[in-house]
Amino acid sequence: MFGDLKGMMGKLKEAQAKVAATKQRMNTVLIDGNSSDGMLKVTITANRELKNLEIDDGLLENKTQLIESLILTLNKAIDKATTINEREVAAVASEGMPKIPGMDLF
């Protein structure tokens, strides 16, 4: 039953290292988000860190519109980043997971 436990543990550590490397790489994947009117642009990493913010001068005159545009645009970019991040990490994690007998039943 535990014949290749050492081998499985090695594969698990290897998978953990690949996941960590993928998470680190997500710091270099940039996602742009633009407001529908084009007056606001955000750039974030796939780890959801804000890298750049461009605001058209016309938005600075209307605080309410600026806030609404920021919230909508940032949320769209964060959704994209989350999707990319989760997909990449899941792909790396699943390829490195050892096959444990019986676990495919769940």
Q: What is the span of the domain harbouring residue 44?
A: 23-98
**pLDDT tens across the length of the chain (106 residues):** 455 777 777 777 887 888 888 889 999 999 999 999 999 999 999 999 999 999 999 999 999 999 999 999 999 999 999 999 999 888 887 776 655 556 554 4
Query: What pTM was estimated for this model as a whole?
Result: 0.74
Strand order in the sheet with 40-45: 30-34, 40-45, 50-55
Distance CA 68, CA 78 (A): 15
Phi first, then psi: give them for residue 60, nearest 5 degrees. -70, -15
Distance CA 97, CA 102 (A): 14
Report yes or no on 17 lying in a domain: no
> Tell me, what CATH number does 29's domain have?
3.30.1310.10
Classified as helix, coil or strand, 55 is strand
Nearest to 26 by CA among 90, 72, 73: 90
Counted domains in the chain: 1
Contact 52, 34 (CB under 8 A): no
Report yes or no on 15 lying in a domain: no
Report yes or no on 13 lying in a domain: no
Query: What number of other Cβ atoms are within 10 A of residue 3's Cβ?
Result: 7
